[in-house]
Amino acid sequence: MRPFLRVVDLETTGNSFTDGGVVEIGWQDVAQDESGAWALLGGPQALLIDPVNPISPATSAIHHLIDEDVAGAPRWLDAAPAILRAEPGPAPLALVAHRAAFEQRWCASALAGRLPWICTYKTALRVWPEAPGHSNQGLRYWRRPAGLDRALGLPAHRAGPDAYVTAHHLRDMLATASVESLLAWSSQPALLARVPYGKLRGRRFADLSDEMLASLAGGERGDGDLAFTVRTEQQRRAYGPATQDVPHQGALSW
């Protein structure tokens, strides 16, 4: 079995187990071949899940799943371990999701076999900081990844198609950055490209004056991503670009 990463996407009835449950999981594997190149392995897969709790109309309006669709489907705790760990075969090197913190609310370490996670939102900010936006679908239409079958990537907000789209972003990131780099960036707060709110909203951090940057540092409102980005930009200006402390794509040994 070639080394692979498993991209997952969840459709849910809420934001956590306290107010909802999983209604669908989708996954798409990205594998490394003998030459070291990464490519999608097979096609996207998906499984409906009985969330136990009723699916609200507001939630159905997003993913178009209703209670009748998931009647008789397996429960999350029964279905999740085999999918997340790719049982009965070898486990993936890591799990991957766009804004992975959301998926991790349901994919607890015990269910996922304590596999590490790559967040393609955080890594896209590093690899494509010039993108006009970094949502999964925004990147899809800005980048237009090679080989992406439009039909397989639709409808949006369904688990299989969304995992399929994310897998193309992951594949392309791995052409320029290593798995180790993506894991390292994913473990840190997001390094934002633009100011997310306030009177400077939309301005690129690199274009801000020192005074503007200092004003953001004084009004972080508990935002860990903003605080991390401001601190990183201030350090860059004071000391120059930081030495890359995570390896670029090269020979992998797993």
Answer yes or no: is pLDDT of 250 > 90. Answer: no
Q: Tens digits of per-residue pLDDT, 173-197?
A: 999 999 999 999 999 999 999 999 9
* Residue 154 tokens, joined: 């639709």
The fold adopted by the segment(s) 4-186 is: Nucleotidyltransferase; domain 5 (3.30.420)
H, E, C per residue of 76-132: HHHHHHHHHHCCCCCCCCCEEECCHHHHHCCCCHHHHCCCCEEEHHHHHHHHCCCCC
CB atoms within 10 A of CB 41: 17
What band does 34 get if pLDDT is binned at 50, 70 and 90? confident
Write down the pTM of the prediction.
0.91
Q: Tens digits of per-residue pLDDT, 63-95?
A: 999 999 999 999 999 999 999 999 999 999 999
**SS3 state of residue 156:** coil
* Residue 16 tokens, joined: 């956590």
Answer yes or no: is pLDDT of 242 > 70. Answer: no
What band does 241 get if pLDDT is binned at 50, 70 and 90? low
What band does 53 get if pLDDT is binned at 50, 70 and 90? confident
Question: How large is the average pLDDT for residues 131-154?
Answer: 97
CATH 3.30.420.10 positions along the chain are 4-186
Question: How large is the average pLDDT for residues 212-216?
Answer: 92
